[in-house]
Structure 1
Amino acid sequence: MRLLNTKTLELSAFHQDRPPYAILSHTWTDDEAPLEAFVRRARLSRPIARLRKRRYAKVRRACKLARSNGLNWIWIDTCCIDKASSAELTEAINSMYAWYAAAEVCYAYLSDVPSDDDPLVEKSGFARSRWFRRGWTLQEMIAPRAVEFYSNDWVSIGSKWELASTIERITGVHGTILKEPYFAGTAQHNWSVAQRMSWAANRQTTRPEDLAYSLLGLFSVHMPLLYGEGARNAFLRLQGEIAEVTNDQSLFAYGNWPLSYKGIAEDDLIVGGSLYAGSPSRFALCKDVVPVRRHDGGLPWTSEFSLHNDGYLRIRLRVCENKSRPDMRESHIAFLECELSRDPDQVVGFFVHNYDRVDGMPTDVHVYKREFATLAKFPRHMAMEAPLRDVFLSSVY
C-alpha cells in the first residue's frame, strides 16, 4: 500500500506496519493527479518537484486538511496506485474496502456542492451530488469509521454520523449502518444480500465492470479483475463468489415486484428469468427482503446450497404446483427462505419450470429453471404446506 506524505507530497510503500492515515473519497475529473507526478526523481530538485505538484489542488488541499488533523499520511486512489500494473490494480481493488475501513478518517470531497448549501433541504446540492450516484463511493461511505463531507471550496458540511438521516433518504442505506463503527463481519451479515445489493441499484461507474468490482468489500469476497468481460459477466461472477460464502437465499430474490401472486398481470411477467441477476439495478425494489424468522418454528427449511461446475445450484426449496393461476398452470412456485421485513406474514418466491431429470443427476432430485425475472409475495401458509424438495436450479437461462 502506497501512502502520500502530507508534508513532502512524496509516496512511500508500506506493508504490515502502516502509520495512521487519512483517505480521500471523491469523483474523478479529467485532470486528476497521476502516480508519476509524486514519485521521487533524483534528477529533479525538491523545489522543482513541489512546483510541479502545485497544479493538483485537490491533492494539496486534502494533504493540508490531514496535517491539520495531525495525520502525516494520506491515501488517494488517483495517485497511490500504479494502474499500469494489472496485478497491483487487482490487489488494490480487492483490498480497498479494508483500506477505507482502516483509515483514521475519510474526507469526502463533493466538488459539485457549494459551501452555502444546506444539506438538510430535500433538493439541496448535497442531495443531488454525483458523489451519491457513483459505484465506488458506496463502500467509501460505509467502510470508514468516520466520514467528513466537504464542499467544493473545502468548507465542512458535516459528518456521516451527523447527516445519517439525510444520507439514508438519499441513498437508501439505513442510518444505523452509517453510525456503525466498523461495517464488516457480523455487522454485514445483519443485512441481507438483497438489501446490500439494493444500495447499489441506482449507481454508475465509468468502466462497466467496476459496478461489480466496487461491491467486493461489501460482501467480503475477492475475485480477479477481467476488464473487457463486460458489466453482466462481472456481476454474474460476483454473485457466484457470494454464493460460495453465504447461504442467504435473498441472493436470488431479485426482479420486478407485483403486489401479490394473484395480482400479477401478464405485463408483469418479465421473460428471461435466470438464477442470477444481470445487474444491481434488478435489486432496486428489494430493500425489505430479509431471511425468514427462525424463532417461530413454522418453516423448518435449510439455507444450505452448493454450486456445481455444470451450471446448476443444488438447494433445498419448498416447491408446489401453481394451482392458483390457471393461466400459469405449467409453472411451479419456488419459495425462497425470505420474507418482507414490513410484512412478515408474506414470503418471497418466484416461478420455475420443471424439466426432465438430467443424465448423471440423482433420481430423487428435481430440476428446474427460473421462468420469469419476476418476484411475488405469497401467504406464509402456502410455503408451509409446500413439500421440501432437493432441487437443482439452472444458473443460466
Structure 2
Amino acid sequence: MKIGDETNFPYAILSHAWGPEEVLFHEIQGDRAAIQGKAGWEKTVRFCKAALENGYTYAWIDTCCIDKRISADLSEAINSMYRYYYNSALCIIYLEDVHSYNKEADNSRKAITREELLARIRTTRWLTRGWTLQELIAPSRRSYFASDWSEIEDGDDLLDTIAESAGISRRLLEDRDLLHRVCVGERMKWASNRQTTREEDIAYCLAGIFDVSIPVLYGEGGRNAFRRLQLEIMRMSFDMTIFAWRGDYESSGLLARSPADFRDVPPLALGPLEMVAPYSMTNTGLTICLGLGFQSRAGEQKIGRQASGEQLNVAELPAALLCEVQILGQWKVPLVYLEPVTDVNLFINGQRRKAYRRVRCAEWLTLSYEQLKDYTYDDIIVLEDENYDFICRARERHKWQLQRGLSSNDSSRI
C-alpha cells in the first residue's frame, strides 16, 4: 500500500541512520527466511512491534518500502519524503548507537543517569546524517528509542538536547509549521555539518525542507546537485540569504558549492522590502541588482578569515546583499567582495551589464542601514564558474589571435 497526501489512515514511520545490512524492498518480497540473519531484519521487526504497541497497524520504513531498483519510484519517494514524515501520525526515531545502560564485567547491564543518556544522545550518528534532518523537523509527534529499543522518556531536557545538537530552534521542533518563517541561509546552516553516503544526497535530502522538487540524477556529483537545488529555490523565492555564505575560495559565483559553506555563518534574516528586484540565472551568469560601493568605509566591520589591517583591493567592490546578519547582537547588512571581469560586454534585454566575480569568499563586510544609503544600486551579472571559464577561453583565444596578427577568419577554430 502506498502512502501520500491522500492517505486517510494513521501510520507510524521510522527515522534511523542506515547500517550496512538493511533489509531492502525486493528482499522483503521474497524468501524472508534468507534475510532474518541480517542486522536490519531485527530493526524492522522491532520497529513494527513498537508501532503496534503505540496503536498503529500501518508502518513505513524507507529501507524496504521503496523499490530503489526503479528510478521513477526512487525519484518519487525522494521528492515526497518530507510529506511522508509530515503526514505520519508518529515518527519512531531509533538511535542505534545510544545505549541506555553500561555493560558490566559480568555482562550485566547497569542503568545510567539521565544526564549520561542525554550526553550520549548529543553524539549520536543520527544527528549527523543528511536525511534525518527533515525526519526530525517534519513529524508532528516523535518517540525516541535507544539501542535496545527501550523508549527514551520524553521531556523538556530531551527536546533541548536535540534542538541544541541539531542547531535548530526549539520553537520549530514544537511547531513544525514555523519552518516557512526561517530564511534560506539558516536552513542551509542546519545541513552544514551533515553527511550523506552518496554525494548527491546532500542536495536531494534538502528539497522537502525548501518545499521544492528536483529530478534525481545520481552520478551528476554533489556540487551539480546542490547547484540545481539552489536554482530551484531561487525560482520560488527572492530570499538573498541564499548568497550569504563563506567559503575558502579565491573566486566564485554567488552560488555556494555545498551546505558546508554556511557552517560558520552568523544568524541570518530577511532584509526590508524597500528594494526588492527579481534575480535569475541565465546562460551568461546570475543577473541581479546589488548595492555597490567603491572603497572600504568607516564603520564597516570585517568578519571572516582576514589579516589585521588588510586593505580592500582597488579593483574590488563591496556589494550589499538584501538581507541581514546578526553581529554582536546587532542586525547589519552583509557585503561580499566583487571583482570586475574586464574585456567582456554582456547584454540582457538590450541593456549592457557589467560582469563580476565574487572574490575573497571567506570574508564579509557588514554595514548599517544608515551607511548603506550612500551605495548605488546597479543591475549586474555575477559569473558562475562555467560562465567565467567560457569567457577566459574566449579571451585567451582572441589574445592569441591579436599576438599573431590574425583575424578570426584566418585562425583555426578552437
* TM-score for both structures, normalised by structure 1: 0.83
Tell me how far apart the structure 1 counterparts of residues 373 and 311 of structure 2 sit (CA, whole Å). Answer: 22
For 1:26, which of 16, 36, 39 is the aligned residue? Answer: 16
1:393 and 2:367 correspond: no
Q: Deviations over 1:43-67 (max 9, x none)?
A: x7xxxx5896586111111111111
- What is the SS of the residue equivalent to 1:59? helix
Q: Is the contact made by 2:345 and 2:353 (CA closer than 8 Å) also made in structure 1?
A: no
Q: Is the contact made by 1:194 and 1:287 (CA closer than 8 Å) also made in structure 2?
A: no
Structure 1 pair 118/350, CA: closer, same or farther in 2 (3 Å)? farther
Question: Displacement of 1:317 after TM fit?
Answer: 1.1
Tell me how far apart the structure 1 counterparts of residues 225 and 259 of structure 2 sit (CA, whole Å). Answer: 11
| Pairs within 5 Å for 1:227-246 | 227-246=218-237
Q: Which residue of 2 aligns with 1:138?
A: 133
1:282 and 2:261 correspond: yes
Question: Displacement of 1:189 after TM fit?
Answer: 3.0
1:62 and 2:52 correspond: no
| Pairs within 5 Å for 1:213-228 | 213-228=204-219
Question: Displacement of 1:238 after TM fit?
Answer: 1.1
Q: Is the contact made by 1:351 and 1:372 (CA closer than 8 Å) also made in structure 2?
A: yes
Structure 1 pair 163/338, CA: closer, same or farther in 2 (3 Å)? same
**Which is higher, the Rg of structure 1 or of structure 2?**
2
Tell me how far apart the structure 1 counterparts of residues 278 and 114 of structure 2 sit (CA, whole Å). Answer: 44
Q: Which residue of 2 aligns with 1:305?
A: 279
Count of paired positions: 358
1:367 and 2:355 correspond: yes
- What is the SS of the residue equivalent to 1:370? strand
For 2:160, which of 159, 165, 173 is the aligned residue? Answer: 165
Q: Which residue of 2 aligns with 1:255?
A: 246
| Pairs within 5 Å for 1:48-127 | 56-116=41-101, 118=113, 120-121=115-116, 124-127=119-122
- What is the SS of the residue equivalent to 1:234? helix
Tell me how far apart the structure 2 counterparts of residues 119 and 241 of structure 1 sit (CA, whole Å). Answer: 43
Q: Is the contact made by 2:346 and 2:355 (CA closer than 8 Å) also made in structure 1?
A: no
Q: Deviations over 1:325-377 (max 9, x none)?
A: 75511101110012124544521010001235524334453322212323413
| Pairs within 5 Å for 1:266-277 | 270-277=249-256
Q: CA RMSD in A?
A: 2.5
Tell me how far apart the structure 2 counterparts of residues 239 and 222 of structure 1 sit (CA, whole Å). Answer: 11
Q: Is the contact made by 1:119 and 1:157 (CA closer than 8 Å) also made in structure 2?
A: no
Tell me how far apart the structure 2 counterparts of residues 165 and 99 of structure 1 sit (CA, whole Å). Answer: 25
- What is the SS of the residue equivalent to 1:385? coil
Q: Judge which range, 212-221 or 167-176, deviates more.
A: 167-176
Gaps of 5+ in 2: 102-111, 298-309, 389-414
Q: Is the contact made by 1:321 and 1:333 (CA closer than 8 Å) also made in structure 2?
A: yes
Tell me how far apart the structure 2 counterparts of residues 160 and 203 of structure 1 sit (CA, whole Å). Answer: 25
Q: Which residue of 1 aligns with 2:339?
A: 353
Tell me how far apart the structure 2 counterparts of residues 74 and 121 of structure 1 sit (CA, whole Å). Answer: 31
Tell me how far apart the structure 2 counterparts of residues 160 and 387 of structure 1 sit (CA, whole Å). Answer: 52
Q: Identity of aligned pairs, percent? A: 33
Q: Deviations over 1:270-309 (max 9, x none)?
A: 4122211111111002250111245xxxxx321532222x
Q: Which residue of 2 aligns with 1:339?
A: 324
Q: Deviations over 1:126-160 (max 9, x none)?
A: 11110000111001001111111100011111448
- What is the SS of the residue equivalent to 2:160? helix
Q: Is the contact made by 1:270 and 1:373 (CA closer than 8 Å) also made in structure 2?
A: yes
Structure 1 pair 303/146, CA: closer, same or farther in 2 (3 Å)? farther
Q: Judge which range, 153-162 or 374-383, deviates more.
A: 153-162
